[in-house]
Chains A and B, each alone.
Chain A
Amino acid sequence: AAGVIQSPRHLIKEKRETATLKCYPIPRHDTVYWYQQGPGQDPQFLISFYEKMQSDKGSIPDRFSAQQFSDYHSELNMSSLELGDSALYFCASSLWSGRFGTEAFFGQGTRLTVV
């Protein structure tokens, strides 16, 4: 079965550079979530999109922005990178059932290292 695809898998950037992470959700899934996970930490919610519209916003820094495109893929844009942005970035997707909270499936993640 198709899974959530993230690219790139690894990324090394210097401070103050920009980075763009991409996420391709499971086909027919209508919701995309972005999470950041630091070493030894639980995943922290950044932002989500439902049907290409921003639906929820978490602890996403102002330096970051994201969008979901017409083909449902999503991109997380990160500018003015700081050392503290080094983390695993996960994208997850789900299909809204309309009632109970839906199961979300995670991509393999992008490991961002800022040097």
Chain B
Amino acid sequence: QKEVEQNSGPLSVPEGAIASLNCTYSDRGSQSFFWYRQYSGKSPELIMSIYSNGDKEDGRFTAQLNKASQYVSLLIRDSQPSDSATYLCAAVDSGNTPLVFGKGTRLSVIA
């Protein structure tokens, strides 16, 4: 069974610090990885996608992928209180197969 594992948290960081969120996946066939941000009672919002090994940066967000270690991470620089949310890691093996989500990590940025 395909699984995506995340530390549920909560992860607390001070405002302005770097938040580091981690995710591992079980299916070596997974090719595409996504980070979604979800505020309580709201829908998941796509913030990053990554397909190849290495780093991908978009503004304050950096996604890192290591397929050999089956590990994905998300770094949030200069964390803001508005970043406080649950971050969901998701993996897909190919094409339009459905996302497999981790249980999410709750991030709290303290002002």
* A residues neighboring B (CB under 8 Å): 30-31, 33, 41-43, 45, 48, 50, 55-56, 58, 88, 90, 92, 94, 96-109, 111
Flag the segment in B13-21, B59-67, B69-77, B95-103 that touches A. B95-103
What residues on A are CB-neighbors of B99 within 8 Å? 33, 43, 45, 92, 101, 104
Bitwise, B5-34 to A at CB < 8 A (1) or not (0) is 000000000000000000000000001101
Once A41-B103, A42-B102 are accepted as A-B contacts, the answer to whether A101 and B94 lie under 8 Å apart by CB is yes
Chain A's closest residue to B6 (CB) is A42
Q: Looking at the complex, which one of A31, A43, A45, A58 makes contact with B96 (CB distance below 8 Å)? A: A31
Q: Looking at the complex, which one of B42, B93, B101 makes contact with A108 (CB distance below 8 Å)? A: B42
Considering the chains assembled together, what is the distance between the CA atoms of A74 and B72 in angstroms? Answer: 32
In the complex, are the beta carbons of A96 and B95 less than 8 A apart?
A: yes
CB distance from A19 to the nearest CB of B (A): 19
What are 12 contact pairs spanning A and B, CB under 8 A? A33-B99, A42-B88, A42-B102, A43-B99, A45-B100, A99-B94, A100-B51, A101-B31, A101-B94, A101-B95, A102-B96, A106-B36
